[in-house]
Structure 1
């Protein structure tokens, strides 16, 4: 749910997953039950007298087993075999919901995993990836996982969020992003423990240091990270691990897309100059001077959009080159760049139509693209609800009517069959969403100046 979720939009979403059984009875296919998961249940707007009409609709169904047809209020729909699971955001929203609704739930708190739990999770994931590597590389798995957990704990304690540093929100996603990058390593290229350790350091710097807002904080992070690595990496020299340049790409060293370190800044600049000239031959001219900071930003953006579900927020004052660097990074990866043409009459429905086109291109046709959006294009705050849907789960519930979803699932039938996906709607929809997350990447170019 979001601030803008009303009873009408919630009912539309619910009815998209159920079918008519007989008479006024509706539910999932016969013989099945449906668990309807509601995230951020406490976020919908609170009305004048303290009610939240979307939650009132849930309460009505749980108490009476039915809701009214929006087209004809004389028809009462009985919804069968539906259960609800819900989660609440403890840091935003109304902080509590209607007691008449909450009494229908068994409520319990979920804490963040402990260090031992995190070690078990990521040791299994990363260790599984290293099973085809040399034994010396496999032995390094535990040390890297321990280092990652320690730096996560240190960063969470040192760099706390504030009104200005709202992005200092550290959780398990950071660890996931680190090991997602580390799992790009291939056994044919990574044959020494120091090579894998350097890749880990690079990924940790991209995940944590790139989010810090000052050189002073980056220096503090580097010193903390160095101390942790001295304790965990054993005989490997820390000076060797941090030797410059510590930059990894999939377009400089090899042509097969392997994720490898760049041999030198001169080689990296030469490759990017060539890519820029190639871009200017086929697209409107970009008069860019690729100084060192710009080069580093291009490699960072390229790294993000290479990952499934990889999305970026670029923060810088107007004219600093955010959009140009994004376009060049996308061109290097053979991605199309899509941007909205926003006018004074641009409405939410216009945004949804643009997103439908992108979803069909990315999910059905397999077109790889970057959706580049600036803060000036967000003329309605409700746009952020749909952007958030792409960022969090890759799916926007009310984007397609049910008939269009059936057509989409039919269109990807051959590809789904070739990928071994069962011929059932739920599995095909999950496959479609995975294709969207793999092919559609959102890049937000925002300015810190203004409201």
Structure 2
């Protein structure tokens, strides 16, 4: 008889009426060959990779249905967008191969689905013509395929690939330099006042925004997000607002906008953010906000210590209206404690419907057993066995109350009553993770261990009021299959109360909709490669954002911000406000020519700028020395941003002490001169 031997209880457990179905990828990339002793029990079915023609047909059907309410020139580009996306995907898959230093260079059909997931975030009002759709496509392609790249040469290669696809498929003469080169957030910083004026009612009424958008049509930066405009009232049952995903009308105002949001975060935060908003940080914040806008949007932020990953996660969570949870690492932090914290978070996301972010850094991931739970959570939306029976009963009762109140589309009182809103989301169309298709499996149970693969065609083409709805939601394919079954979905079970399994599945789906996992990992050493190999969901379910080395402009911005309050000797007033030597004043009896000059150099700002330049030069010299040492010995020494921050703090502390000694000496000198003058 088939079964398993329990080593804990030392007896044989027999399984009856059980069929085992397995899904596996070919050996390689960390996957091992299956033993023939194991595989002989199964009927093996090979699923070959889909051809390019098949991929185009599948995604064209999905995109055409979604953009049906859009303008005619937008609808006409559906096939072209699909062809360009598939072309970029196949080129990345063949040319950007994984290596030990780039182990995460694995491109699958999930990446193609993520491009269309982003395309289906917009509504007709945000994409009014063909060029706007092309800019959106270029942005989504860059986010999906570009953000994980490690080297500048790989990034330039992809920029050239995307701009070439724009020229070849869309017949637009846009260049890589225009889209991704000089027109960056940094070079546009001087136009903030003009953009701010355009965003006033007078500027908008005068068509200034439209004029600027037309002028920037063929140039970068490509900046899209869902927080540039106030949320809209969606009017859906149980939902209140819809966040508008649109291109930023004034990119040069981003720095000021994010600075205001950072101050807003710090009002109630226990740990205020000390984030310097240079161009690179702004881009990483935008990337993470985009990920958090999607259901089942999870991220791995890969960078060395001090690169700002966790601060970016906190700011992006605040901007995206998500509650952030980060367990406190320490001696008392164990897997059991993590599970207790996780249960509370799952209840918030699944029962209360609150959007949550779980942030785990290197200190929390020191115990890699936590990644076993995270691996399952990413795939299934829960951790099997995490809730006791009593806790599960309480969840079922709470979900039943939500169903009775009509807050669970398809369950309880809402079943069959208002199908027109049964798939509306507050961030619609947020749902875009594929269910079934080429790379995944049809998933009728939320507890399945298989991740979503490609989008499925189906669903409604337009919502009430002419707005497009999501066609790529996690249950879109299941809904289509239910529709083919006729009135089976309106069974007597749905006429009354939903079953326990349906309520638990609804809980899990709400968790997957509202919960986001953000992992901050370091690429130093073999831990990152090992984790991706041992826990495959980290790679298949997460979007990787690679934090590269800080450019010189970033170093200068950070150093300038940290040293802005530095009190240098030249800041001591040359003409004191008082004659009292005890307060640093000069006695009136001392003639000006007899006063010792307090600073022989330039003014305070120039001196501070010199200190900043010196610190940046020291850090750059250390980087060059580390590179030379690596070339000479083959051993790698990491000069991280943390080392640069330590240097700045050391300079600030030593300079502060030196200034204090300098001022004390001046006071003693003034007091001595005062006493000498009083004896005359």
TM band (smaller chain): 0.7 to 0.9
Q: CA deviation at 1:161?
A: 0.3
Residue 397 of structure 1, CA deviation: 2.0
- The one of 110, 128, 137 aligned to 1:191: 128
Q: In the alignment, which residue of structure 2 is the partner of 1:177?
A: 114
1:118-267 equivalence runs, <5 A? 118-234=55-171, 236-239=172-175, 243-256=219-232, 257-267=243-253
Q: 1:248 & 1:217 partners in 2: Cα distance?
A: 23
1:245–1:263 Cα contact (<8 Å) kept: no
Structure 1: where are the runs of 5+ without partners? Answer: 1-63
Which runs of structure 2 are paired with 1:57-68 in the superposition (5 Å)?
A: 64-65=1-2
Q: How many residues align?
A: 385
Residue 523 of structure 2 corresponds to: 448
* Contact 1:230 1:238 (8 Å CA) reproduced: yes
Shift of 1:67: 5.4
Sort the Cα spacing of 1:253 and 1:345 in 2 relative to 1 into closer, same or farther, 3 A. Answer: closer
Counterpart of 1:85 (choices 21, 28, 37) is: 21
> Within 2, Cα distance between the matches of 1:306 and 1:230?
30
In 2, the alpha carbon distance for the partners of 1:429 and 1:241 equals 48
Whether the 8 Å CA contact 1:369–1:440 is kept in 2: the answer is yes
Q: Judge conservation of contact 1:182–1:203 (CA < 8 Å) in 2.
A: yes
Partner of 1:408: 395
Structure 2 contact 226–293 (Cα < 8 Å) conserved:
no
Alpha-carbon contact 2:226-2:245 (below 8 Å) kept: yes
Structure ranking higher in strand proportion: 1
Q: What secondary structure, in the 3-state scheme, does the structure 2 residue paired with 1:346 have?
A: coil
Secondary structure of the residue that 1:231 maps to in structure 2? helix
Q: CA deviation at 1:447?
A: 1.8
Within the candidate set 87, 96, 100, 2:34 is matched to 96
The answer as to 2:396 corresponding to 1:420 is no
Higher relative contact order (Cα pairs below 8 Å, separated by 6+ residues): 2
Q: Does residue 364 of structure 2 align to residue 377 of structure 1?
A: yes
Q: Which moved more, 1:423-432 or 1:269-278?
A: 423-432
Offset from partner CA, 1:123-168 (integer Å, 9 cap, x none)? 1221121111122211111100110000001111111001110110
Distance (Å, rounded) in 2 between the aligned partners of 1:265 and 1:155: 29
Counterpart in the other structure of 1:304: 291
Q: Which residue of 2 aligns with 1:8?
A: none
3-state DSSP of counterpart to 2:305 = coil
SS in 1 for 2:274: coil
Counterpart in the other structure of 1:346: 333
- Give TM-score, length-normalised by structure 2: 0.54
Q: Which has the larger radius of gyration?
A: 2
How far, CA to CA, are the matches of 2:349 and 2:122 in structure 1?
26
RMSD after superposition:
2.2
Question: Does the CA-based 8 Å contact 1:304-1:312 persist in structure 2?
Answer: yes
Structure 2 residue matching 1:314: 3-state secondary structure: strand
Could you tell me how far 1:220 is from its partner in structure 2? 0.7
Q: Deviations over 1:90-143 (max 9, x none)?
A: 3334421361x4332111222222212211221122112111112221111110
Tell me which moved more, 346-355 or 180-189: 346-355
User: Which deviates more from structure 2 when the two are superposed, residues 198-207 or residues 361-370?
Assistant: 361-370
1:276 aligns with 2:262: yes
- 1:400-434 per-residue CA deviation (whole Å, 9 max, x = no partner) reads 24553343222111334521235133332322122
Runs of 5+ in structure 2 lacking a partner?
Answer: 176-215, 233-242, 412-493, 527-680
- 1:197–1:241: 8 Å Cα contact kept in structure 2? no
Is 352-361 or 290-299 further displaced after alignment?
Answer: 352-361
Tell me, in whole angstroms, the C-alpha distance in 1 between the residues paired with 2:142 and 2:10.
57
**d(CA) in 1 for partners of 2:110, 2:51:** 15
Report the CA distance between 1:72 and its aligned residue. 6.5
**Which deviates further from its counterpart, 329-338 or 373-382?**
373-382
Q: TM-score, normalised by structure 1?
A: 0.80
Partner of 2:508: 433
- Structure 1 range deviating more: 239-248 or 382-391: 239-248
